[in-house]
Amino acid sequence: TVTLSAAESSAIRDALPALAGAAAEHTSVAVAPAASQPQGDDAGDSNLPPLTLILPAAWTLVYAAGLAWMLARRLRARRVWRGLLAASQRLSPQELRTHGAFDAAQLSDIARHQLAVMETDAAISPMLVGVRRPVLLLPRHLRGFGTEQQHMVIAHELHHWRARDPLCLGVAAVLQTVFWFNPALRWMNGKMEWALELICDQRVLAGRPQQQRKQYAAALLLQWKAQTAAMPTGGVAFGGIDGATATARIRQMQQAALPVLSRAATWSVAALMAAVLAGGALLQPALAFNVDRQLAPAPMPPMPTTDAAMLFARPTDGGAASTALPADKAWRNPLDKMRVTGLFGVRRNVLVTPHKGIDIAAPSGTPVHAVAEGVVVSAGQLTENASRYGNTVILQHGGQRTLYAHLTSMNVKPGATVTAGQQIGTVGETGFATGPHLHFEVRQDAASIDPATRLANLDAVSTRHALLVRRQQLGY
């Protein structure tokens, strides 16, 4: 005795006229009436849009709104900087020599690389503006600093320029704009800006006596006090900071070098990173799933009664799966080591249509074998189902076909004859696959049938998660 859902019972009633014609030649199938069975969750919610369609659409709208807001902020900041540069005066080589803030080496470096230097009346920090060709923008109140202080402030900005820090900050700004929803990027950007400032401070103060270190710290405080207007981010500034940051930088200036990790801490961090990378590599096959589903499930064609019984039958509580084949009549497995992570007929979160085959996780390069003797129908990129299958081999075995998808390489050509167990390719992740695995299907005419009707003991090589999903969705 078997128990069917209402949807399966309806499909069988539609196929009964065709099945009746073959009843004289094949064993009859006994199907328990299911008219009184309650419909499953999928049937009860068939008129409601699936969450897999609603959630992506909602997230797309939220992301677009956040991206537009971030782009608007960037454009406003760009207009402010353009206006500030337009109101500034470019200093000529003669004006640079008489300015007092530049020593001979700095003037030579600026002239050799043709760095533009501009001066503004705005109370801003000395900074580099721009990414591709930065401009050194100086506030006019810098002339009121001591000569040695001015030289050190200019040295700070020139180090930013030589290290291409504006480019780093520009890339960070692009990443923050695109991934505006990720708070980790904002945190990392703040830490990066802090690190860049500390590195420049240490480079400027390297080898200098304590008296000059004090002058440099005093220049930082003078700049902080003189800065009366907060400017948008986008430039690498000497003193565009708050009081807490200024205090922390001054404390770092009192040290001879930046704090570094101890040898033990360095090795601990390296080991942790290696463990994370190794864990990701080991878990990748287990997390692999494919999305090779069609927009609508294929209709089930008429077939002999014995095949119909194997396809539709479901076990009663506590019973063994009726789809299992005797070992002497089953095909061989497509992989020598089977680890099934996705079973036939289940629905995944990525698509609402049932899975048309099974997914077998394996490392890339694992040999894939023909399950039975047959003829190669096709071998290569499969355009079916929007090219989701990637590199695919299809074999013809009498009235049935087998499909092997997401292959890295293929060892056969169309028209060739293969024997059972012959290698036809290797496991990969081509097409719409998120990890290395083999997607295997069995087809009769235009319909996909459960590979468990042709492969023995699939449940024994299936993961607990795969069996749990099938039990929750299909009831066995």
Torsion of CA 182, 187, 191, 193, to 10 degrees: 70
Longest Cα separation, the chain: 109
| 329 shares a domain with 183 | no
| 240 shares a domain with 381 | no
- Is residue 28 in some structural domain? no
Q: What is the pLDDT of residues 305-328, one digit of tens each?
A: 344 334 434 444 443 344 455 555
| 227 shares a domain with 95 | yes
Separation CA 389–CA 396 (nearest Å): 18
Q: What's the domain count of the chain?
A: 2
Separation CA 116–CA 93 (nearest Å): 10
| 119 shares a domain with 230 | yes
User: At 265, is the pLDDT very low, low, confident or very high (cuts 50, 70, 90)?
Assistant: confident
pTM over 0.85: no
Instruction: Please give the average per-residue pLDDT across 434-455, as a whole number.
Output: 94
> Of 260, 284, 313, which residue sits at a domain end?
260
| 310 shares a domain with 216 | no
Range of the domain at 367: 301-474
Q: How far is CA 249 from CA 57, 195, 217, in A?
A: 46, 10, 8
Instruction: Please give the average per-residue pLDDT across 56-69, as a whole number.
Output: 92
| 62 shares a domain with 192 | yes
pLDDT above 50 (res 400): yes
> Of 260, 290, 318, which residue sits at a domain end?
260
In this predicted model, which residue has the larger pLDDT, 344 or 273?
344
pLDDT above 60 (res 456): yes
| 96 shares a domain with 236 | yes
